[in-house]
């Protein structure tokens, strides 16, 4: 019996197949009927897919069953420290280090003592035209969870 393919190896095969076939992440998400950001994160190894989702993605991209098997596994979530050197990812960390304390204060002021869930969570990315250069709009939409003492 062959060992299970790692999520990072499966992700690399998904990315290569997507590029080779000339399809977008949005097209893949449409194929499985799931949000594009969630689908992309799942295919990059951060969420488990259902058997049906994994099968459909692999059929769509022409990938083998070993990839589908890996896509169904529970991930070890979180950022690989090497990813923090990527400029796009680092800018998110930088933005949160600058604005995180203010956002925390504003959340507490508006909602009370608690946190924004990253489990019951939606995220979206879009483009907004601007005369000084297009803007990236990232929306985090998390359920408020109050601390209960």
How many beta carbons lie within 10 A of that of residue 45, not counting itself?
A: 22
Cα 138 to Cα 132: distance, rounded to the nearest angstrom? 18
117 is annotated as an active-site residue: yes
- Answer yes or no: are the C-beta atoms of 18 and 61 closer than 8 Å: yes
Where in the chain is CATH 3.30.1160.10? 82-146
pLDDT given at position 106: 94
Among residues 8, 117, 122, 135, which one is catalytic?
A: 117
Where in the chain is CATH 1.10.260.40? 7-71
Model confidence pLDDT, tens digit, residues 47-104: 999 999 999 999 999 999 999 999 999 988 776 777 778 899 889 989 999 889 899 9
pTM: 0.80
Among residues 20, 94, 122, 135, which one is catalytic?
A: 94
Instruction: For residue 8, give both structure tokens.
Output: 């990072």
Looking at per-residue confidence, does 43 or 85 come out higher? 43
Among residues 20, 91, 122, 135, which one is catalytic?
A: 91
Instruction: For residue 107, give both structure tokens.
Output: 């959340």
CATH H-level superfamily of 82-146? Cyanate lyase, C-terminal domain (3.30.1160.10)
CATH dotted code for 7-71: 1.10.260.40
**Phi, then psi, of 135 in degrees rounded to 5:** -105, 145
pLDDT given at position 79: 64
91 is annotated as an active-site residue: yes
Q: 78: buried, middle or exposed (CB in 10 Å: 19+, 13-18, 0-12)?
A: exposed
User: CA-CA distances (angstroms) from residue 46 to 18, 71, 114, 131?
Assistant: 18, 9, 25, 35
- Answer yes or no: are the C-beta atoms of 4 and 70 closer than 8 Å: yes
């Amino acid at each position: 019996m062959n060992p299970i393919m790692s999520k990072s190896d499966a992700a690399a095969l998904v990315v290569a197949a997507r590029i080779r076939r000339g399809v977008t992440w949005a097209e893949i998400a449409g194929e499985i009927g799931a949000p594009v950001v969630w689908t992309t994160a799942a295919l990059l190894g951060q969420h488990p897919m259902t058997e049906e989702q994994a099968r459909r993605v692999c059929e769509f991209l022409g990938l083998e069953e070993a990839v589908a098997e890996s896509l169904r596994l529970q991930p070890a979530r979180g950022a690989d420290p090497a990813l923090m050197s990527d400029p796009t990812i680092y800018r998110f960390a930088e933005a949160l280090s600058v604005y995180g304390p203010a956002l925390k204060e504003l959340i507490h002021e508006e909602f009370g003592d608690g946190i924004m869930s990253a489990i019951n969570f939606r995220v979206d990315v879009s483009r907004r035209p601007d005369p000084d250069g297009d803007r990236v709009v990232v929306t985090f939409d998390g359920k408020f969870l109050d601390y209960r003492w």
